């Protein structure tokens, strides 16, 4: 007789493995499947924000993650004209860089230790709802039964389109990265975000993985003529004193369309990037994957006792929107209005003169809550006031 799991989770990245962990911790019977065998690499900048670390802490993983991570104490923004501003990441916030090869394996192992069953090498082609739950069909003809499915397949949209969940391919960011060693200078413990020599809107990053090693990459929202991610990557690193490249340049899309994305369908919830949950300004998505995994697990536990019905599905969508909609709208707004070369050239020197603005920008870059007093209307008013008071600075910033 075929075993019907309480939940079949498809995708064992941070979103899927966190969901599986939180479900197993509540005694739920979980099957977690992934097309890959672990440890596996995931093309990423490897930056972990305070949001991500809070969830990892609640999974009991923080000390292990810290042991494998490079501690970040500040962030630096370099404007298109080369001027830079730096802010400390304050004591309440912690940030790390941890290679995904290590991080994802740690999270998956935590889910398995908690009780989830993991099946590697399963490529799910589509998920089909039925009267008692769902069937996840694999490429090789196998089928897995569950009462509920959680899809955490990241930016790979195949399962979502074949299952009729995503009607069209969403517009995604393009990104590429490579690892570098033997950097000429010892790396400051800093997230460096560079807006020089990258397509706009977008940025390049140097995230240190060790004193003389870094994850270097570029991510941008494609516009006409912006070209491929790999080409943008080469243009970006050409101008940097960057040491020896280790391994290939890898490109991958980033879905940032949560505001327009479905989050559920019959007997199925979407988690992490499968729901478009990546910050549209920064391209950070590990944090939202972990957080939405935690939300989904709590909601599934409720559904397994009270019943899986339309209201339960819409409640999941509501919970995600309550948690993430404000920060996503704010981040899109900043991306579309502030990530313009001329404005960035103005903002960076302005931030250098205003420590409180620098600190506020740090919280935006880290994806923390929209800072009060620095919402879209306020930011526009502050900038307009500054330009009226300092007309000569506006001209200099363009030089
Ligand atoms: C170049 C780049 C740089 C980035 N930098 C950062 C950063 O510094 N910090 C940050 O927070 N975020 C960053 N991101 C975003 C981040 O990588 C993702 O948002 C995050 O990995 C999403 O987690 P997830 O669990 O939703 O999906 P994923 O981590 O993508 O995991 C999805 C899993 O599903 C599996 N899968 C997919 N399809 C199937 C299928 N059909 N059947 C079975 N298994 C399947 C995959 O093998 C994979 O293991 C970056 C992304 C890119 C591309």
Q: What is the pLDDT of residue 6?
A: 98
Ligand 1, atom 16: nearest CA belongs to which residue?
Answer: 285
pLDDT at 205: 97
Asked if pLDDT for residue 239 goes beyond 60, the answer is yes
Q: Whose CA is nearest to atom 37 of ligand 1?
A: 153
pLDDT surpasses 60 at 371:
no
C-alpha of residue 279 to centroid of ligand 1, in Å: 13
Percent of the chain past pLDDT 70, that is, above it, reads 93
Q: What is the per-residue pLDDT for 89?
A: 86
How many angstroms separate the alpha carbon of residue 199 from the centre of ligand 1? 22
pLDDT, position 392? 59
User: 96 by DSSP, 3-state: which?
Assistant: strand
The predicted model gives 120-137 an average pLDDT of 97
- The phi, psi pair for 41, rounded to 5°, reads -80, 155
Q: What is the pLDDT of residues 156-183, one digit of tens each?
A: 999 999 999 999 999 999 999 999 999 9
Render pLDDT for 140-155 as a digit per residue (tens, 0 to 9).
999 999 999 999 999 9
Largest distance between two CA atoms of the chain: 78
Q: Tell me what the mean pLDDT of segment 321-345 comes to.
A: 89
**Model confidence over 17-39: pLDDT tens digits?**
999 999 999 999 999 999 999 99
Residue 365 pLDDT > 50: yes
What separation in Å is there between the alpha carbon of 115 and the centre of ligand 1? 23
Decide if 277 contacts 285 (C-beta within 8 A): yes
Instruction: Read off the tokens for 44.
Output: 């990423």
Q: Is the pLDDT of residue 399 over 80?
A: no
Q: In percent, how much of the chain has pLDDT > 90?
A: 76
Cβ(347)–Cβ(339) under 8 Å? Answer: no
Query: Which residues, 6 or more positions from 77, have their beta carbon under 8 angstroms from its beta carbon?
Result: 84, 85, 86, 193, 194, 195, 344, 348, 351, 361, 365
Query: Which residue is closest in CA terms to ligand 1's atom 50?
Result: 44
Residue 252 alpha carbon, nearest atom of ligand 1: 53
Place of tokens 């009991």: 60
- Domains observed in the chain: 4-71+97-170+257-331 (3.50.50.60)
Beta strands of the chain (E only): which ranges? 4-10, 30-33, 47-48, 70-72, 74-78, 84-88, 95-97, 117-119, 124-130, 133-138, 143-151, 172-181, 190-194, 202-210, 213-220, 244-255, 264-265, 268-270
Q: What does the pLDDT look like over 65-82, one tens digit per residue?
A: 999 999 999 999 999 999
Calpha distance 156→377 (Å, rounded): 36
DSSP class per residue in 307-330 = ---HHHHHHHHHHHHHHHHHHHHH
Q: 245 near 38, Cβ under 8 Å? A: no
Q: What is the pLDDT of residue 388?
A: 73
CA angle 97, 99, 101 (to 5 degrees): 160
pTM over 0.75: yes
**Mean pLDDT within 84-95:** 85
DSSP reduced 3-state for 257: coil
**From CA 172, how far away is CA 253, in angstroms rounded?**
6
Cα of 68 vs centre of ligand 1, distance in Å, is: 19
Closest atom of ligand 1 to 176 CA is 1
pLDDT at residue 398, rounded to an integer = 40
Q: What is the mean pLDDT of the chain?
A: 92
- Could you tell me the CA-to-CA distances from 172 to 40, 215, 256, 258, 267 in Å, in that order? 23, 21, 6, 11, 26
Query: Ligand 1 pocket: which residues have CB below 6 Å?
Result: 10-16, 33-36, 42-47, 122-124, 152-156, 158-159, 175, 177, 217, 219, 252, 254, 272-274, 278, 283-287, 289
State yes or no: pLDDT of 384 exceeds 50. yes
Torsion-angle region of residue 250: left (phi > 0), alpha (psi -120 to 50) or beta? beta
């Amino acid at each position: 007789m075929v075993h019907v799991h309480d939940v079949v989770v498809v995708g064992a990245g941070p979103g899927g493995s966190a969901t599986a962990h939180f479900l197993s911790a509540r005694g739920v019977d979980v099957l977690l499947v992934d097309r890959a065998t672990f440890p596996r690499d995931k093309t990423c900048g490897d930056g972990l924000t305070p949001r991500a670390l809070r969830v990892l802490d609640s999974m009991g993983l923080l000390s292990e993650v810290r042991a494998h991570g490079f501690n970040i104490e500040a962030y630096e923004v370099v404007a298109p004209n080369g001027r830079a501003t730096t802010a400390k990441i304050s004591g309440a916030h912690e940030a790390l860089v941890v290679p995904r090869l290590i991080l994802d394996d740690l999270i998956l192992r935590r889910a398995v230790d908690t009780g989830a069953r993991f099946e590697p090498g399963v490529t799910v082609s589509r998920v089909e709802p039925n009267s008692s739950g769902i069937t996840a069909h694999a490429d090789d003809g196998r089928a897995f039964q569950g009462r509920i499915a959680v899809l955490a397949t990241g930016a790979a949209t195949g399962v979502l389109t074949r299952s009729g969940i995503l009607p069209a391919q969403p517009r995604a960011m393009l990104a590429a990265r490579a690892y570098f060693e033997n950097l000429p200078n010892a790396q400051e413990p800093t997230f460096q975000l560079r807006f020089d020599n990258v397509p706009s809107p977008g940025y390049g990053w140097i995230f240190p993985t060790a004193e003389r090693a870094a994850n270097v990459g570029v991510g941008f929202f494609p516009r006409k003529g912006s070209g491929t991610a790999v080409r943008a990557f080469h243009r970006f690193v050409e101008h940097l004193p960057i040491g020896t490249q280790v391994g290939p340049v890898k490109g991958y899309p980033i879905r940032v369309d949560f505001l327009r994305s479905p989050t559920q369908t019959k007997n199925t919830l979407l988690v992490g990037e499968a729901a478009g949950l990546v910050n549209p300004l920064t391209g950070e998505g590990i944090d939202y994957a972990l957080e939405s995994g935690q939300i989904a697990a709590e909601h599934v536990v409720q559904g397994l006792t009270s019943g899986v019905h339309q209201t339960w599905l819409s409640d999941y969508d509501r919970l995600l929107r309550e948690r993430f909609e404000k920060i996503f709208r704010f981040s899109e707004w900043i991306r579309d209005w502030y990530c313009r070369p001329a404005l960035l050239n103005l903002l960076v020197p302005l931030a250098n003169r205003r420590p409180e603005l620098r600190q506020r920008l740090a919280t935006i870059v880290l994806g923390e809550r929209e800072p009060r007093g620095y919402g879209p209307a306020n930011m526009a008013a502050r900038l307009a006031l500054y330009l009226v008071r300092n007309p000569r600075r506006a001209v200099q910033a363009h030089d």
